[in-house]
């Protein structure tokens, strides 16, 4: 190679040096672009990880919200059933009062019937 350099003209050598310089500059530019691409890749990976965390957090919040909604629905249903139970107990109490009143009337009628029977027998 050293012998070939001696046989080249100064102009040819200058062209070779210019091409080498140009290639070296292109190499530096490519290295900078590679660094930018790697930096962008790292940033995108960070964003992706943050998005995954946000997605997991959102899923948890949705599940919690659904659980709270189910609990609220369950509480509403429980309150409704409690009110129905209270209404049924009130009806039961009224029914028992009516039954007691009817029993009292029946006993009174039996008493009158016994009196009438006694009067009839005494005749």
What is the distance between the alpha carbons of residues 106 and 100, in angstroms, rounded to a whole number? 10
Which residues have CB under 8 Å from 16's CB, separation 6+? Answer: 8
Among 23-27, 46-50, 112-116, the range scoring the smallest mean pLDDT is 112-116
* Averaged pLDDT for residues 12-33: 92
What is the distance between the alpha carbons of residues 77 and 28, in angstroms, rounded to a whole number? 72
What's the pLDDT band for 47 if we cut at 50, 70, 90?
A: very high
Look at the pTM and tell me if it is higher than 0.85: no
Amino acid 27: pLDDT: 92
Ramachandran bin of 94, using left for φ above 0, alpha for ψ from -120 to 50, beta for the remaining angles: alpha
Q: Is 27 helix (H, G, I), strand (E, B) or coil?
A: helix
Has residue 116 got a pLDDT over 90?
no
DSSP class of residue 9 equals -
Which residues have CB under 8 Å from 13's CB, separation 6+? Answer: 5
For residue 98, what are its two tokens? 């009516």
Which residues have CB under 8 Å from 5's CB, separation 6+? Answer: 13
Q: Identify the H or E element spanning 37.
A: helix 10-122
Query: Is residue 67 within 8 Å of residue 59, measured between CB atoms?
Result: no
């Amino acid at each position: 190679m050293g012998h070939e350099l001696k046989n080249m003209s100064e102009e040819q050598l200058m062209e070779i040096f210019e091409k080498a310089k140009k290639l070296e500059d292109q190499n530096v530019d490519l290295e900078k672009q590679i660094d930018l691409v790697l930096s962008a890749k790292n940033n995108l990976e960070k964003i992706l990880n943050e998005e995954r965390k946000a997605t997991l957090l959102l899923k948890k919040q949705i599940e919690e919200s659904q659980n709270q909604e189910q609990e609220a629905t369950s509480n509403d249903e429980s309150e409704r059933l409690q009110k129905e139970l209270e209404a049924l107990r009130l009806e039961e109490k009224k029914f028992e009062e009516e039954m007691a009143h009817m029993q009292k009337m029946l006993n009174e009628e039996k008493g009158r019937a016994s009196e009438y029977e006694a009067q009839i027998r005494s005749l």
